[in-house]
Amino acid sequence: MKRIMALIAALLGVMPVLAAPAWNWPDGHQAAIVLTYDDALPSHLDVAIPQLDKAGLKGTFFLSAIFDQKLVPRWRAAAARGHELGNHTVLHPCARGTFPMQDRQNSESYQVGDMLTEIRVQNTLLHAIDGHTARTFAMTCGQKLVGRGQDYVEALRTAGLVRFARGIAPPAATPGEVDPFNVPATFFAETVTGAELIAFVEEVRGRGGLGVIGFHGVGGDYSITTAQAHQQLLDYLAAHRQEIWVATFDEVMTRLTWKP
């Protein structure tokens, strides 16, 4: 799976943030940060969620169905404490060669209908865990195409299965121009420090915009952000909670797309 992050890093580098000089964030906040975590990893339950809980912050966890059923009660408990469980498909299909996988798991082996079915099935699983019906989605490996270059996100947009989707795309000039079904996220290399994560947040704050940060492993698993760097970021966000709005992907995107 380390090859996933190598691909994402090559596509993203450290992506610019979504920015707006005068966006009306709630309660006088100057910017918004969304913390997202992919793949339902044990380190999310063991490290990331305890750190978030201690800091009084909420994260969005995009779950594929490839995790031990013994962990279901822990994911249910995390959702009960306000963390968002998002859809990351059942089998996490990605383009051939991204990481070792069976041929049937390659996104080239999928059709648009197959992807929508898998997202629908994962919605059912997530509903059984947290009881929610509204759901957000993150593209696996940041990829929009299946089969012979078909864009499944356009079909997902009209299918009514999810409210918003996190992907990889150039940043919008203002939050009002963000495509809610292709919201950019910034991933960092395994060597990222707490200071570098904080510098990213400070840039978002300076622009008055939106920053969506993507993580895989936190203190373990793969594509690891160290527990120390993650904690330093959370400490900074907690200390500046009056200026920086930290909320789930669904909450922030609902605010961003709300129209009176």
Domains and CATH numbers, the chain: 2-257 (3.20.20.370)
Q: Say if residue 3's pLDDT is above 70.
A: no
Q: Are 211 and 201 in contact (CB under 8 A)?
A: yes
Least-confidence region, from 63-77, 97-111, 152-166: 97-111
To 5 degrees, how large is the angle CA 123–CA 209–CA 204?
105
For the entire predicted model, the pTM comes to 0.90
**CA pair distance 62, 106, nearest whole angstrom:** 19
31-38 and 60-63 strand pairing:
parallel
The one-letter amino acid code at 2 reads K
Q: What is the pLDDT of residues 107-163, one digit of tens each?
A: 899 999 999 999 999 999 999 999 999 999 999 999 999 999 999 999 999 999 999
* Residue range 81-86: mean pLDDT, rounded: 98
- Tokens at 23, concatenated: 């966006």
pLDDT one-digit tens code per residue, 151-199: 999 999 999 999 999 997 766 667 778 999 999 999 999 999 999 999 9
User: Which candidate, 136, 132, 150, 159, places its Cα nearest to that of 212?
Assistant: 136
